[in-house]
Amino acid sequence: MTAPDRADSRPSPATALSRPRRSCLAVPGSNPRFLEKAQGLAADQVFLDLEDACAPLAKEDARHTIVKALNEGDWTGKTRVVRVNDWTTHWTYRDVITVVEGAGPNLDCIMLPKVQDAQQVIALDLLLTQIEKTMGFEVGRIGIEAQIENAKGLVNVDEIAGASSRLETIVFGPADFMASINMKSLVVGEQPPGYPADAYHYILMRILMAARTHDLQAIDGPYLQIRNVDGFREVAGRAAALGYDGKWVLHPGQVEAANEVFSPSQEDYDHAELILDAYDYCTSAEGGMKGSAMLGDEMIDEASRKMALVVAGKGRAAGMTRTSAFQPPEA
């Protein structure tokens, strides 16, 4: 089973894959008070949860609570996502139909948890396409976020990442993953006792490589000690250092920390913009059409430009403003 080709209807990278997701706030879909409060927080993304945050008996009503919140709430500046239940449950199809039919124009992505193979992503893609056609919505506009939460999902992450043109992110789900591999720890996000290195390094890099191969964003999962902001910063900093785009936040106190950790420093942002300006100048006719040049004591070239594009892009997405300007060298 393969998904239909929608290359012409896929949202452009500038509007979909480049959405800032430094902080991805989890909100129980069954709690109207939390749904209202989330609208005023500075999270880049908010995902309204129908899975783990909703008790089984609350899921049906939560679908309608989420539709109402999406349609009537003010989510300005935020990517709006709903996490449905995974395909091994009997709730998934009705989660998707109720939410997308009820609030499709006010929804950006569906998050699919516990993804184990590409077929599960393709099934969601096809269901979304049928709903969009039936309702007269733009086909292909609603994206998919795939959550990797067990060993099978990680082994198949490459094919998962390439399963659909709707995919925007690959998300690491640490709690279920730790259980699936029998990791000796009960503290989600912290290192297991007795292991002298980073137990999550391979997992995070494996997800990151698959995401980048298919031009997707990579998002780290939650840190459950919500009052330990220093611990959150440390764990988030490791993911950011690898190149991750953001991290889940479970509490308003983690939002500011995530936004800071996954944004470049002012110094790095300014330097990246200067590199881009200097490279544009040196390769121009006015700058002598050179392939490399000096920026202060630093030699810059095409590779420097590529690295600077990443940092500058993150700074621009974060709304940062330059504090320095490029001055061409005097002849």
- pLDDT of 4 reads 47
More confident residue, 316 or 242: 242
Enumerate the domain spans of the chain. Answer: 23-262, 266-318
Q: What is the DSSP letter of 330?
A: P
- pLDDT of 10 reads 45
Q: CA 103 → CA 30, 50, 66, 99, 263, distances in Å?
A: 16, 15, 9, 6, 31
Give tens-digit pLDDT for 180-189. 998 887 677 7
Mean pLDDT (whole number) for 128-133: 98
Q: What is the DSSP letter of 138?
A: P
Q: Is the pLDDT of residue 14 over 70?
A: no
CA gap 164, 143 in Å, rounded: 9
Q: Is the pLDDT of residue 5 over 70?
A: no
141 is in an annotated binding site: no
Look at domain 23-262 and name its CATH class. Answer: alpha beta
149 is in an annotated binding site: yes
Q: What is the DSSP letter of 107?
A: -
For 177, residues 6+ apart whose C-beta sits below 8 A from its C-beta are 148, 149, 150, 151, 154, 183, 203
CA gap 178, 186 in Å, rounded: 9
36 is in an annotated binding site: no
Q: Are 50 and 110 in contact (CB under 8 A)?
A: no
- 109, HSE (Cβ side, Cα atoms, 13 Å): 31
Mean pLDDT (whole number) for 183-202: 84
